[in-house]
Structure formats: structure tokens, C-alpha cells
Amino acid sequence: MAAMTDIKPGFHDPVLDSQAVFRAVLDAMARPGRLHRVSHLKDVPAPLAPATAAVCLALVDQDTPLWLAPDMRSQGAETFLRFHCGCPLVDDRSTAAFAIVSGGKLPGLDGFAIGDDAYPETSTTVIVQTEGLATGEGLVLRGPGIEATHRLAVLGLRSGVWREWADNGPLFPCGVDLILVDDQTLAALPRTTTVTEQEA
Amino acid sequence: MADVIDHPSRAAATPPDTRAATGYNFAYLDEQTKRMIRRAILKGVAIPGYQVPFGSREMPLPYGWGTGGIQVTAAVIGPDDTLKVIDQGADDTTNAVNIRSFFAKTAGVATTERTTEASVIQTRHRIPETPLTEDQILVYQVPIPEPLRWLEPREAETRKMHALEEYGAMHVSLYEDIARYGRIIKSYNYPVKVNDRYVMAPSPIPKFDNPKMDRMPALQLFGAGREKRIYAVPPYTKVKSLDFEDHPFTVESWEQSCALCGAGDSYLDEVVTDDKGGKMFVCSDSDYCEQRRDAGHQGDGGDSNYATRNEIPENETSSGDDR
Ligand SMILES: [Zn+2]
């Protein structure tokens, strides 16, 4: 059990910071691939990124089981999440409402909860920590929330992720949603977004 | 010791200045409720047109004031927002005024009657005439979120129909109108299909407003308090009013323009002007009408023969209160 002083602080203003982070995630989910900066937490326990921690403090609580990928587990991170979010940490990612993973070791997307046709919202929102996000280059995104196309470069993902993403779309209305994180920046890909690699 | 931290529950109970003056939670709702509603909103955005169940909370407002829309607004709004509230197109009805002052008091937000100045617009029964932008969120108050409810009263059945995309009964019912009346008589809450998948109730807006939902740059959120449902249409998403090849969807039109501002493109309300039965047609969207008049546009004052609407709406709007 970590001593109280080992736990990194949460939001300075839990009410207003939660609202601001939620709005960033909402706009990210409504306009896939757009980058949003959430700088409300600066000092967070490794290996969590500041934006990952901020999203968790804004949205995760005792009603939302959280799964940490093996390479995302640390005593500091687990204590921080349990303390600030009060969430159960689960061992089986197919039962998680939220998951935190690294892009380099992202487990197969098909192992998360995808919901069912009657209740497709009972799926996992996967927070993916990347090594870089940039707009105007990279992947070509299409779908609801995007006027025509949007470009998003995502660095540090293991190979095969976008092939699995292509299998996620046809599951609609089921499927996972992704929140992509790079330090204090985030973007989102809801299940409706189609991704094309290497388009001229 | 810089790292001393409050327990989250204690920190949340310590009101910053904006709340200290009022004694309310920010935007009234407690943080756990807001998180739950926020998660439902995000799922709604990810699954366009699908009704996400959520745990509705009692609100300190009478039924009929749109508690579903208010809960969505309360979960979304922040101190940087500017809120506009309309009821049947007007900013100055008791309903709209009360909701506006509720959020001014509990969230300290700025309010406006100008569509172009608002970042969040809560609406009952209209979409503003002024085109909305990417920087805006439109929150609809919804009385009955289930578009199939009038065909099938059982929730388990309608849920199955949505899951299986089984919308044949809806089409049959609409086509029965055509067989009987020569047209589809539903003129409010006219069902739409979102992103080619879910049939959705647009709330009791006139079907005149349906085309505005299609590929709208603003995010559209829908809250139904009594039935505890939230749904959404992301920006630039296809919203198609249900119709048939031989009977395409049409909207209401008027032979005349607004008596006050001369607008020929807005939804008109008939108003009685004197006790001798004098009538004129004016914009239902009071801000739109005022902006046009401020810009120098003028109507005929209702002097000429008053306009007649080409389609008579069925009388369902007055019973469409949210609970
Ligand atoms: Zn007018």
C-alpha cells in the first residue's frame, strides 16, 4: 500500500477541469482525428501520459471497470487510478468499460468488449498511448464528424492495427472506440471512422 | 509539502468562487451524475442515432420544461460557454427564460438571444434559421425518443427492431398515409434515418427543419428525461427524412413571406393581431426575424391577404412536452 504522499495530485479544480477535459474528448469524438490539448495534469505516474490520466479523472469512476495493459501497470499508476477514480481494475479486457494500452503493444482489438446489437454502448473505450500525433499528414479518415476527409498521423503503433480497425467498422453498431493520446494531446476515432493508409 | 492532496470527494465539495455564491453544484448536477451523462453522450456520438440509456436525475424544475435537454446541457456546459435557449423558436417564453436563468445562476455562464453568439443552444421544437457552425452544440429537448413507439409500445420489441434494422413496419405505416391521404400527414417529429442506419426521432420540430439536420456542421445532442435516453448526430452526418421514390419528402411552404421582416425562407407562425380576427404570419425564429429587421429588411406588416400554409400540420405539437 502506497503512502498517501506517494499519490500524485489530481485536478486542481475537479469540477471545472473535468468539464474541460470532457469537452475536449467530446469534440475529439465528434470530429475524428482533430487534436485537442488537455494540460490539466502535468505530474502523473509513469507510464501514464498526462492526457490519459486527465481522461480517466474526467470519465472513469466506480461504475466503469478499467483494464490496464501489462506494460501500463505500475504501482504508482494503479494507486493513482484507484484513488482518484475509485474504479475497479479488471484482469479481463473484454469486461472493461475503459482500457489503457500502449500503441507499441496494443493487444488485439477483437479482445475488447464490442457491445451487442441491442446495447452497442456496452463496449470498451480504448485509450491508446502513442509516440506522436499530427494532423495534415498520414492516415486518411472518413466518416461521421468529418466534412470530407481528415489526415492524422499516428506514431508508435505496432503493425496491423489499422487492418484490425478495418474489421471493427463492419461490426457497427458494435465495436470499440479509440482515444489516441500523445503526452498532453488527444484525438479520437469512434467506431464509425474509416481509416485508409498510404493514399496518394 | 507541495503534493498534499484532497480526497476527491472532499475536493469536489469545496466550491470555487463561481459556486460559492450560489450554493449549487456547478450546473446543478453532482459530479458522478455528470460523468455518467458525459459517458452516455460520448457513446451517442460514436453510435449516431442510437438511443443510449442513462440514469436520469430529478431536476428542480417542473415536468414539461425539458429535463432531458437540461441534463445534457448541464453535463456539457462550462464557464466559457454562451448559452441560448429557445422554445418554439422564441427566446422570451417563460420556459426559455427560466432555463436560461437556471444556468446563469448554477453555472455562471453567459447567455444570449443571438444564434451567432451562442456556443450551446438548447431548443424545444425548432432549429434556428441561421445556419449553425462547427463551434456550436445544439441540444434538443425530447419528449418521446423512440420513433417506433407509436407502432410498438414494448421497449424490448423496439430495441430488437433497431438492433435488427427492422424498419419495415415504419415504412408500411407511412405508406398507409399516402394510400389514404395522398401524402404523409406527419408534419412534426418526422422520422429520419441517421448515417444510413438508425431511424431516429428528431423531437417535435416541424419537418420544415429536418433538412437542416443533414450534414449540419454543429454537433447535435438529444436528451429525453422521462424516458432516460440520450442520442446524438455528429457533425457532417447524413440525416435523411424517410420517404418513398414515388412520394419524395417535402417541407411546408407559405405563399407569403414574414409580415415583419419579409423573410421568404423561414418557418412562419400565424399570430392574431386584433380582436376582429386579424392575422398575420411572422417568423417563428424571433432572433432571425429581429436580425433581419435590424439589417433593414421589412415585411408588408400583414396588410395583404394573410398567407396560407400549403400543408396543414396535424395537431400534435402542443402535447409534445418533455418530462
Ligand atoms: Zn421575420
Res. B314 pLDDT band, cuts 50 70 90 = very low
Q: Quick one: closest CA in A to B36, which residue?
A: A59
Would you say residue B197 has pLDDT above 70? yes
pLDDT at A25 over 70: yes
∠ CA B144-B148-B152, nearest 5°, is 105
Contact yes or no for B216/B135 (Cβ under 8 A): no
Catalytic annotation present for B277:
no
φ/ψ region of A40 (left if φ > 0, alpha if ψ in -120 to 50, else beta) reads alpha
Active-site residue among B44, B108, B225, B289?
B289
The arithmetic mean of pLDDT across residues B210-218, rounded, is 98
Tell me which amino acid residue B244 is. Answer: F
- Of B105, B72, B34, give the one whose Cα is nearest residue A17: B34
Residue B24 has pLDDT above 90, yes or no: no
Mean pLDDT over each residue of chain B, to the nearest integer? 87
Q: Which residue has the cell 407511412?
A: B174
Q: Which of A9, A59, A83 sits opposite B38 (nearest CB)?
A: A59
Contact status, residue A59 vs residue A38, Cβ threshold 8 Å: no
Q: Which residues from chain B sit within 8 angstroms of residue A11, using beta carbons? A: 11
Tell me if B309 sits within 8 A of B284, measured CB to CB: no
Asked about B108 being catalytic, the answer comes back as no
Residue B25 has pLDDT above 90, yes or no: no
C-alpha cell at A165: 480497425
Residue A86: list chain B partners with CB under 8 A: 8
Residues 143-162 of A with CB under 8 A from B: 144-147
**CA dist B237 → B116, B131, B214 (Å):** 21, 15, 6
Q: How far apart are CA B122 and CA B109, in angstroms?
A: 13
DSSP letter assigned to residue A157: P
pLDDT mean over A23-27: 98
How far apart (Å, rounded) are the C-alpha atoms in residues B67 and A160? 45
- Confidence class for position B304, pLDDT limits 50, 70, 90: low
**A97 vs A165: CA distance, rounded Å:** 18
Asked if B273 and B306 count as a contact pair (C-beta separation under 8 A), the reply is no
State yes or no: pLDDT of B22 exceeds 50.
no
What confidence score (pLDDT) does residue B273 get?
A: 85
C-alpha cell read off for A120 = 452497442
Whole-model pTM: value is: 0.91
Cβ-Cβ contacts under 8 Å, A13 against chain B: 16
Given CA atoms B238, B240, B246, B248 in this order, what sign does their dihedral have?
Answer: negative
Q: How many CB atoms lie within 10 A of CB A161?
A: 17
pLDDT for A4 equals 55
Q: What is the pLDDT of residue A182?
A: 98
Write out the DSSP string of A3-56.
-GGGSPP--SSHHHHHHHHHHHHHHHHHSTT--EE--S--S--TT--HHHHHHH
> Which chain B residue's Cα is nearest to A59?
B35
CB contact under 8 A, B3 and A5: yes
- A1 and chain B in contact, CB less than 8 A: no
A68 phi/psi in degrees, rounded to 5 = -105, 125
Query: Would you say B266 and B309 are in contact if contact means Cβ atoms under 8 Å apart?
Result: no
In this prediction, residue B27 has a pLDDT band, given cuts at 50, 70 and 90, of confident
| H or E element that contains B31 | helix B31-46
How many helices, marked H, and strands, marked E, lie in chain A?
4, 9
Say whether residue A61 is in contact with chain B using an 8 A CB cutoff: yes
Q: What is the pLDDT of residue B319?
A: 38
Give pLDDT, residue B7.
Answer: 35
Q: What are the pLDDT digits (tens) for B53-65?
A: 998 777 776 656 6
In the predicted model, is pLDDT for residue B18 greater than 70? no
Q: Which pLDDT score, from 0 to 100, does residue B121 have?
A: 98
> B220-254 pLDDT, tens per residue?
999 999 899 999 999 999 999 999 999 999 998 99
Task: Please say whether the beta carbons of B289 and B260 come within 8 A.
Answer: yes
Answer whether residue B321 shows pLDDT above 80: no
Backbone Cα Rg of chain A: 16
Q: Over the stretch B68-122, which tens digit does the pLDDT of each residue have?
A: 999 999 999 999 999 999 999 999 999 899 999 999 999 999 999 999 999 999 9
The Å distance, Cα B189 to ligand 1 centre, comes to 23
Q: Cβ A125–B42 below 8 Å, yes or no?
A: yes
Is the per-residue pLDDT at B305 higher than 90? no
pLDDT at A158: 97
| Residue B66 pLDDT level (bands cut at 50, 70, 90) | confident
Confirm if B76 and B223 have CB atoms less than 8 A apart: no
B283's enclosing H/E stretch is strand B279-283
pLDDT at B265 over 70: yes
Cα dihedral across residues A60, B220, A24, A197: positive or negative: positive
pLDDT of res. B317? 39
pLDDT at B316 over 70: no
What structural domains does chain A harbor? 11-185 (3.40.50.11310)
CA terminus-to-terminus distance, chain A: 54
Are A5 and B1 a contacting pair at CB < 8 A? yes
The chain A residue lying nearest B220, using CA atoms, is A30
Mean pLDDT of B191-212: 97
pLDDT tens-place string over residues B148-166: 999 999 999 999 999 999 9
**Residue carrying the nine cell digits 433497431:** B162
B 78-117 residues inside an 8 A Cβ radius of A:
78-79
Gyration radius (Cα) of chain B, Å: 21
Residue B302: predicted pLDDT = 75
- Whether the pLDDT of residue A69 is over 90: the answer is yes
DSSP string of B99-159, one letter each residue:
HHHHHHHHH--EE-S-GGG-SEEEEES---SSPP-TT-EEEEE-S---TTTTT---HHHHH
Sheet with B192-194, edge to edge strand ranges: B198-200, B192-194, B239-241
3-state secondary structure of B204: coil
Distance from the B257 Cα atom to the nearest Cα atom in chain A, whole angstroms: 33
